[in-house]
Copies of this chain bind each other. A is one copy, B any other.
Amino acid sequence: MKKKRISITDIANALQVTPSTVSRALNGGGKVSEKKRLEIISLAKKLGYRPNPIAKSLLANRTQTIGLILPEFTHHFYSRVLAGIESITSKAGYQLLICTSNENQNQEIKSTLTLLDARVDGILATISKMNDKFEHIQEVMDSGTPLVLVDRFSEEIETPYVISDDFKGAFSAVDYLCQIGCKNILHIKGPDNLSTTFNRFMGYKEALRKHNMPLKEELVLESSDPKLVEKIRLCLTRHQVDGAFTYSDYLAFEIYKLASQLKIQIPEELSVIGYADEPISTYISPTLSTVNQQPFEMGAMSARYLLNKINDPEVALEVKNLETKLMIRESCKVVETQS
């Protein structure tokens, strides 16, 4: 009589653990305690367990690599996102294959196909700014390759994502400027078709509304405006601007330069808050108040979501809108509390 083949379930039953735990212990992935792992491996040996050839071929299909698509590394933000991702993937024994899109959709599509060709086990992606096509994303999902979106998401794509709460981040910044008494708050906004910068503009508007301050159109400038510098200068000289909130730290630096030319003191006459907590914010003088988006956490959490989906394709949809942190530094005036 042919001896019954020992299955993962047999080992699981003998040790009173789930088959999935046995599988993870034998395949070297996922969360299994070292003690339990050794127990399982030892019993598997004793019983003469051999992996099912079909299961093995499926397993062998794994490359232990994860594809990562990011726009660029010029902004420190993305190098922090990368560090957060690596903190999780390297411990789990995954190699990252990184592609940059440079905010170019064609480049993003090529990167996606290259990563699929390299048979990555999953993909983490920040979709490029001007994305209006999603066929390549659909292709990833159709291929059964787990996908998690990072920093930017689209309602057209039903997949796990980790983004930052840009609305609340911007709201907290402008709310703070109102609280310290700013009456004319300049906002330099980013592209409207990008969810992140659009939400920052919405947060600006909502904070003004909360403080019963009118939205003055002349105080809202577009970062893409070729005459931006000239328009900031006009704003600062004509409209008694005493507060400024910019959608990026680099734009806050532009305000610093103009204020210096116009002999407007920061923070005595003008309080400034940027966005993203780039290193520049602590190097410039006075140090810049800004909104920290926790990019390391964002990377780590999106990597965890991806590993969960790799280990269990049926896992429930995980999404997260990360809290931001308002970092008040020297660029905001200090208000003496009345006592």
Contact = CB atoms under 8 A, between A and B. Distances in A.
A93 to B, nearest CB: 9
A301 B116 CA distance: 29
A280 interface: yes
Contact of A118 (B78, B98, B110, B118): B118
A98 B99 contact: yes
Given A86-B102, A279-B280, A97 B73 contact: no
Interface residues of A, number: 31
A63 interface: yes
A129 interface: no
A253 B283 contact: yes
Contacts of A325: none
A159 interface: no
Contact of A284 (B99, B110, B114, B284): B284
Given A253-B283, A285-B285, A96 B86 contact: no
A111 B76 CA distance: 23
A90 B73 contact: no
Interface string A100-120: 101000010011001001100
Given A79-B79, A97-B114, 19 more contacts: A73-B73, A73-B78, A73-B79, A74-B79, A74-B83, A82-B100, A95-B99, A95-B110, A96-B100, A97-B97, A97-B98, A97-B99, A97-B118, A98-B100, A118-B118, A280-B280, A280-B283, A283-B284, A285-B285
A-B complex: 3 closest residue pairs judged by Cβ atoms: A73-B79, A73-B73, A98-B98
